[in-house]
Structure 1
């Protein structure tokens, strides 16, 4: 993972690609992410989220991860992923509030949200997301199916509430899970892309090594245990219903736009 200041710069670079002017008729959705892990459990990096027409395929289980996903899964760097999303829709990277000397990561209990403004237009939209699990060599959570989370259908808003369990965490297959301090973010890695290349494929994560460095430092990071809860992702309209329905009626909206105009941190 990048050092904190470099990760912040990468996050800002990915976000800056998305800025645009707002419009008077914009509709809004709020995307909220919360870390549900227990004390001394897993953390995760700022989350990349994208809203698109269903054609953006982030990865496929059983196949090699893309170079863009590798950088996110190994180093927590969302910049290449943000760049690859150009032309598919709108994406943004966001994390919890920052304190002096604090990296922008979601620790257990941390929560953050973003409000996305967009213009009415097309009638279907889907949500994709991705984040690196910490500490790990190349663990991440994301949705493999680009059409798994539909947030608009024929002009109707569809709320999303998705709990990320330990069984939903993926192994990118790009770096050997040595759990050595020099190769593992939060345990001692200070330079990106330093682990042993694995050359594998994306698979469900089997959990961290019993008695290994990760569980010794973070004993609550037992992602292979039943019902381990890592994160919660929700998508809701702004304003909340019934104001949402009144707004749609006032604007005469028939659908959702592909071109988003403004992103505002909440």
Structure 2
């Protein structure tokens, strides 16, 4: 009997060890977005995000914006951004952390991610009030979240005012700015420019009433933290695999025991 127990214990340990790498790839990732801007300053539209293989390039500094990033920068809907993402990387885990994010607010959402398949992270969110401002990464491999073993490499991304992008697609206009009482997002004057950093122009909306019922006051200075993304990750066990292995070992034990009884 001692030999049987020793055999089973060793077999179970080996089986669990073999199953561990597969389990380590499945991660439950909680993403928390925070608006760090001063009171009455900028807000953010819903955050569009994705965990991926590092191939989805949403936009590039100094180049003409595509329809995908424009769908984020002009109104925040991001529908084209999402569809472009899905086309470029069908196995990516995509999502949206919804509702406007006012100064001081935070929101969280969890995602099930295969860290081996989708180790990179991308995001985009419109900055409001504006005509076409946003935050996001122009390098698809700028943020690698996981190493080869499924360990979290970074737990925070911070964006400053100097990292706010101007899509260059729509000219500055109070009448056409999103999030303003006196603005209508559908009113657009093409700018035909390129993507570039620009936060100073936001001061042009100072004093305007926002849809959140506060008078806008930019207050932004260079390199001031305005937006933060935090990550918490935990390995998701695969109970079906463990149960299957345990069941097989129990069957083996019964067979061995019966043979001993018969013998």
TM-score, scaled to structure 1: 0.71
Using the alignment, how far apart are the partners of 1:190 and 1:177 within structure 2?
A: 11
The range that moved more, 143-152 or 190-199, is 190-199
Measured in 2, the distance between the counterparts of 1:175 and 1:200 equals 8
Cα distance, 1:185 vs structure 2: 1.3
Residues 187, 58 of structure 1: alpha-carbon distance in 2 compared, 3 angstrom cutoff:
same
Are the equivalent residues in 2 in contact too, given 1:46–1:93 (CA < 8 A)?
Answer: yes
Equivalence for 1:234: 230
Q: Is the 8 A contact 1:222 1:228 kept in 2?
A: no
Query: What is the CA distance between 1:188 and its match in structure 2?
Result: 3.3
Counterpart in 2 of 1:135? 129
Q: In the aligned structure 2, how far is the partner of 1:110 from the partner of 1:205?
A: 23
Residue of structure 2 equivalent to 1:28 = 28
1:152 is aligned, of 141, 146, 153, to 146
1:79 is matched with 79
Q: Which has the higher helix share?
A: 2
Point out the structure with the larger strand share: 1
Distance 1:115 1:177, change over 3 A: same
Structure with bigger gyration radius: 2
Give the aligned CA root-mean-square deviation in angstroms. 2.5
Q: CA deviation digits over 1:53-79, x for unaligned, max 9?
A: 111101100001111211210111111
Matched position secondary structure for 1:150: coil
Q: Kindly tell me: are residues 232 and 128 of structure 1, through their superposed partners in 2, closer, same or farther at Cα, counting changes over 3 Å?
A: same
How far apart, CA to CA, are the structure 2 residues paired with 1:198 and 1:161?
34
Equivalent residue for 2:109, pick from 109, 114, 118: 114
Query: 2:192: which partner in 1?
Result: 199
8 Å Cα contact 1:139-1:171 kept in structure 2: yes
**Aligned to 1:163, what secondary structure does the other structure show?**
strand
Aligned counterparts of 2:152 and 2:64: Cα–Cα separation in 1? 34
Name the CA distance, whole Å, in 2 between partners of 1:68 and 1:193.
Answer: 17
Q: For structure 1, list consecutive stretches of 5 or more residues without a partner in the other structure.
A: 1-23, 96-103, 239-243, 253-266
1:207–1:222 contact (8 Å) kept in structure 2: no
- Is the 2:35–2:102 Cα contact (8 Å) retained in structure 1? yes
Instruction: Specify the alignment match of 2:178 in structure 1.
Output: 185
Give the secondary-structure state (helix, strand or coil) at the position aligned to 2:200.
coil
TM-score of the superposition, structure 2-length normalised? 0.72
User: Unaligned stretches of 5+ in structure 2?
Assistant: 1-21, 209-214, 243-263
User: What SS does the corresponding residue of 2:231 show, helix, strand or coil?
Assistant: strand
